[in-house]
Amino acid sequence: MSEVNSKQTFDREAYKQGLIRTLSAFDRYCRDNQLTYMVAYGTCIGAIRHHGMIPWDDDIDVFMFRRDYDRLVSMRSQLPEGYALVQMGENGYCAPIPKFYDTRTTLWEEKSWPCIIGVYLDIFILDECEGDSEEYVALLEQYQKAYLNYMASQRQWTWADIWDKALHLHPLGLIRLLRNKLYDRHRSAQYLQESKRVYERFMQMSGDYLIPLDCPYKAIHPKSMFEGVKMVDFDGMQVPVPSGYDAYLRQLYRDYMQFPPENKRNSTHSHFYLNMDRGMTLEEVKQELGMK
């Protein structure tokens, strides 16, 4: 369920335009530096079905091959003015999905995760694997456990938050909250190192399949789906989709050209605090919101 600060009104259209500007800056930088990327997931559906963002969506997802993403990281000091790249473990950011974001905007997504970024796009890295082997499945489970533990350790629940949620939670949910508060927060560095250690083992794999490790679908894709790109219209620009976009989208969504029921046409992303006009620090945001 999405989270929005009650003191703000979320301007979906302004946010959408910010997303498109961010994608345009990312696209231009990748073209100028011969970096390959492709739009992914709902953004890919939007490109094919709507020739732009899905009307009720509010995020942008892209794929990058490992080699291209590593080059992007090595060149991060040369990113376009007003944009930055953040990875798990940097500047309070705890999710395993790297983000390219606009530093001239301010976004705090969830209150319990006090991390400030800006209007962003998610980068899902395509790593090689041999398929659905026992070793792969076991390693994937280790990685999921490690990064979920790290994310949990970064939550900063106050006792007031816990008391408020205790009235509505199942006892097991309350136990998890107390574990986050009393135990996980003190093991944050250990969880982060374990996530990186397991991830490095994935980076040493090779094979005829590709997987974005940080995607909730956990789908393994044949390399043939990504052997090239096709350029398609997207909200006034052209973006690359995988050459095998039809097989890729059907693997995940089946009949992706079919619109979902109207009651499913919504976003699950949170925008606890959003400022489209300037970049702010966490302290500045808290001061504006009257938070201690």
Domain end position, chosen among 174, 206, 238: 206
CB 251 within 8 A of CB 221: yes
223 and 111 together in one domain: yes
Residues 101 and 137 in one domain: no
How far is 36 from 127, CA to CA, in rounded Å?
14
Residues 237/27, Cβ–Cβ less than 8 Å = yes
- 181, 206, 231: which is the final residue of a domain? 206
102 and 21 in contact (C-beta within 8 Å)? Answer: yes
Say if residue 87 is in the same domain as residue 225: yes
Among the candidates 150, 174, 206, a domain finishes at 206
Which of 16, 23, 32, 36 minimizes the C-alpha distance to 230? 36
Condensed to tens digits (0 to 9), the pLDDT of residues 114-162 reads: 999 999 999 999 999 887 777 777 888 899 899 999 999 998 888 887 8
Residue 205, pLDDT score = 85
**C-alpha–C-alpha distance, residues 161 and 142, integer Å:** 30
Structure tokens belonging to residue 268: 């699950």
Mean pLDDT in order along the chain per 10 residues (292 residues): 58 93 98 98 97 95 97 96 97 94 96 95 93 79 91 87 80 81 86 92 88 77 95 97 97 94 86 95 94 80
pTM of this prediction exceeds 0.85: yes
Judge whether 26 and 2 are in contact, CB under 8 Å: no
Residue 225 to residues 67, 147, 157, 243, Cα–Cα distance (Å) = 17, 28, 43, 6
Residues 46 and 169 in one domain: no
The residue type at 175: I
- Residues 244, 194 share a domain: no
pLDDT at 159: 80
Number of domains forming the structure of the chain? 2
The maximal CA–CA distance of the chain, rounded, in angstroms, is 54
Task: Please name the residues in contact with 81: beta carbons below 8 A apart, sequence gap of 6 or more.
Answer: none
* CB distance 188 to 153 below 8 Å: yes
Tokens of 3: 């989270």
Residues 110, 137 within the same domain? no
Looking at the fold, whether 224 and 173 belong to one and the same domain comes out as no
Q: CATH no. for residue 221?
A: 3.30.460
How far apart, in whole angstroms, are the C-alpha atoms of residue 79 and residue 57? Answer: 26
Residue 97 phi, psi dihedral angles, 5° rounding: -100, 115
The answer on 85 and 111 residing in a single domain is yes
| Sign of the dihedral through C-alpha 49, 50, 54, 55 | negative
Query: How much is the pLDDT for 176?
Result: 79
Q: Are residues 121 and 250 in the same domain?
A: yes
Same-domain check for residues 122 and 199: no
Residues 54 and 66 placed together within one structural domain of the fold: yes
Quick one: pLDDT at residue 218? 67
Q: In which domain, by residue range, is 177 found?
A: 132-206
Pair (176, 121) in one structural domain:
no
Enumerate the β-bridge partners of residue 62.
Answer: 39, 123
What residues are paired with 63 via a beta bridge?
A: 38, 124
- Per-residue model confidence (pLDDT) at position 5: 59
pLDDT at 1: 44
Task: Pick the closest to residue 123 from 173, 71, 85 (CA basis).
Answer: 85
